[in-house]
């Protein structure tokens, strides 16, 4: 079966042939399973912003599920701001990939999406390498910049946004100090993950104090130019941060 969709005056991009992308949902139809399948292709870039999705009937046939499951999944994605449902016109992927990515990651965390879980896992290892290299290559000026970001975290007080911004800046600064352009580019490209990660755990008791203590340990190891200690400190920070993230997701599941 070939899934096609005729563009109209509202469409800014032709819909792809989703029949080549979508496979039947294996278990009994459910809104979450359909939403995960659609989101997987949206976050992978298979479907561009502005694209009008095929009709409910066509999606249901491609996925092998009831139209009610497709309708529920589309409604959920609409509420999250990932797609826009226009009565009488169809469902469209919203413009603005910079805003879409954090929502996609957040939704992926809630649904236990494999791609998002893999991203969290990879980030853990990359941060360790980043800290190790930073400890080997940091100048006194580099250490001073890390101290400044940590102080901004301390000074944030109840300003959650300021705290998150300073936290992200600390990690990206560490990657810059590592002086490995590939590593730095990768960590910059998953900045949205860092943002969502901190936003989700910011209201968990002990997050601020724990995060400050863990960052300080990383900073002290880099200041001492001790790669092993920096790696261990970052690994511990990632372990604790991952535990807080799991607690947040489990609490909302």
pLDDT tens-digit profile of 83-97? Answer: 888 988 999 987 654
* Torsional sign, CA 222, 225, 231, 235: negative
Buried b (16+ CB within 10 A) or exposed e, 51-83: bbbbbbebbbbbbebeeebbbbbbebbbebebb
Domain 100-249 has CATH 1.20.120.530: yes
DSSP code for 95: S
For residues 70-89, average pLDDT: 82
**Which region holds residue 112: left if phi is over 0, alpha if psi is between -120 and 50, else beta?**
left
Query: Residue 14: pLDDT above 50?
Result: no
Instruction: Note whether 10 and 95 are within 8 A (CB).
Output: no
Domain ranges in the chain are 28-91, 100-249
- The structure tokens listed for 103 are 């929502």
For residues 151-159, average pLDDT: 94
- Per the listing, tokens 């607690």 go with 247
pLDDT for res 148: 98
pTM above 0.75, yes or no: no
Q: Which class is domain 28-91?
A: mainly alpha
**pLDDT-derived band of residue 12, with 50, 70 and 90 as boundaries?**
very low
pLDDT for res 108: 54
Instruction: Note whether 245 and 197 are within 8 A (CB).
Output: yes
Instruction: Give the tens place of pLDDT for each residue, 98-153.
Output: 455 555 555 555 555 565 667 778 788 889 999 999 999 999 999 999 999 999 99
Rg from Cα positions in the chain? 21
Nearest to 49 by CA among 92, 8, 7: 92
Nearest to 96 by CA among 53, 43, 49: 49
C-alpha pair distances (Å), 55 with each of 8, 81, 85: 13, 19, 11
The answer to which of 61-75, 171-185, 239-253 has the lowest mean pLDDT is 239-253
For residues 64-73, average pLDDT: 87
Instruction: Give the tens place of pLDDT for each residue, 220-239.
Output: 999 999 999 999 999 999 99
Query: Residue 192: pLDDT above 60?
Result: yes
Instruction: Note whether 49 and 97 are within 8 A (CB).
Output: yes
Share of the chain above pLDDT 70, in %: 72
């Amino acid at each position: 079966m070939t899934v096609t969709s005729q563009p109209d005056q509202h469409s800014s991009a032709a819909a792809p042939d989703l029949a080549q992308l979508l496979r039947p949902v294996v278990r009994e139809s459910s809104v979450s399973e359909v939403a995960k399948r659609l989101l997987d292709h949206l976050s992978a870039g298979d479907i561009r912003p502005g694209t009008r999705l095929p009709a409910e009937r066509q999606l249901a046939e491609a996925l092998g599920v009831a139209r009610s499951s497709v309708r529920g999944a589309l409604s959920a994605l609409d509420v999250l701001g990932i797609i826009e449902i226009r009565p009488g016109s169809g469902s469209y992927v919203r413009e603005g990939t910079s805003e879409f990515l954090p929502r996609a990651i957040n939704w992926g965390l809630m649904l236990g999406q494999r791609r998002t879980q893999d991203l969290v896992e990879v980030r853990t290892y990359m941060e360790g390498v980043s800290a190790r290299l930073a400890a080997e290559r940091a100048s006194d000026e580099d250490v001073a910049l890390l101290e400044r970001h940590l102080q901004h975290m301390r000074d944030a007080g109840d300003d959650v946004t300021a705290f998150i911004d300073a936290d992200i800046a600390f990690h990206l600064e560490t990657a810059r100090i590592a002086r490995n352009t590939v590593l730095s580019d990768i960590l910059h490209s998953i900045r949205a993950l860092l943002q969502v990660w901190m936003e989700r755990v910011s209201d968990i008791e002990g997050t601020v104090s724990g995060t400050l203590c863990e960052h300080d340990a990383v900073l002290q190891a880099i200041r001492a130019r001790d790669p092993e200690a920096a790696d261990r400190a970052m690994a511990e920070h990632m372990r604790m941060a991952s535990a807080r993230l799991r607690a947040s997701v489990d609490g909302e599941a």
